Amino acid sequence: MKLVSVLGAVFRRDWTMMKRYIVNSVSTLVSIYMIFILIFAGLQSMSGYVKTGALEGSLEGTIIGFFVWTFTIYAFSNLAWNLTNEAQTGTLEQLYLAPCGFKWVAASTLISDFVFSFVPIMLLLAAMMATTGKWLRVDLASLVPLLLITLLGAYGVGFALGGLALVFKRIQALFQIMQFVFVGLLVIPMRVPAAKYMPLVLGNDLIRRAMVDGVRMWRLPPGDILTAVAVGAAYLAVGVAVFSWCERVAKNRGLLGHY
């Protein structure tokens, strides 16, 4: 019951913050959309699409890659940002008093972020499809589970960065580096050896098959889905382990109440 109460409190907090700072939320989506417009304009000016990675020589692949990348940015950065903000406002120690443990508070934050970012990013997807004239298949019964599987690795990175934020406080520059790292992962072709064992790569390919080829999730190769789940879970476990280690360091050094 305590877990549900914490999750509900986090949902109410994020809903209130989103309403209060709606201009900032909309501006963030507009800026992301403008980046896509620049990419689309660049592709239009080329004589032919570069056949590589998530693009796979198609505009549809570009849309999907950018769509997954946007979800990834929200997934890995929000936890660390929230920890930094809580430390700045002096409420981080209060969160550690939660009877269910801080890790559930962090997990609730990630769940809430996914829920509240889903509709805006789907609207962004619709805007990208309208801009390019390429309409993809959006089967939520397949898309939502595949997204969650794909983002497991990104959530692992988010936990690791959250742990680093507890110890080192200001790690915003690392966020920017990770954004480019994820771009690189999303353009890795599946034919590259060991590509399916990297975060996002196999999940992005499964999403492409669902949205471009119209393959329902239960018709995708079970081996690929299980591999994507195992890879994502492994990176998530590593991220949680890094977070736990950084958490102990921050407590031993008395850093939780300082920014």
The model's pLDDT over 83-122, given as tens digits with 9 standing for 90+, comes to: 777 766 667 767 776 777 777 888 888 888 899 889 899 9
Orientation of helix 222-253 relative to helix 140-168, angle to 10° = 20
Measured CA to CA, the distance from residue 12 to residue 58 in angstroms comes to 41
Say whether pLDDT at 51 is over 70.
Answer: no
Measured CA to CA, the distance from residue 19 to residue 122 in angstroms comes to 18
The pLDDT tens digits of the residues spanning 76-85 come to 888 777 777 7
pLDDT mean over 116-142: 90
- The first and second tokens of residue 185, run together, are 């992962």
Burial status of residue 100 (CB atoms within 10 A of its CB: 0-12, 13-18, 19 or more):
middle
User: What's the confidence (pLDDT) of residue 229?
Assistant: 95
Contact between 228 and 206 (Cβ < 8 Å): yes
Measured CA to CA, the distance from residue 166 to residue 247 in angstroms comes to 7
Contact between 152 and 201 (Cβ < 8 Å): no
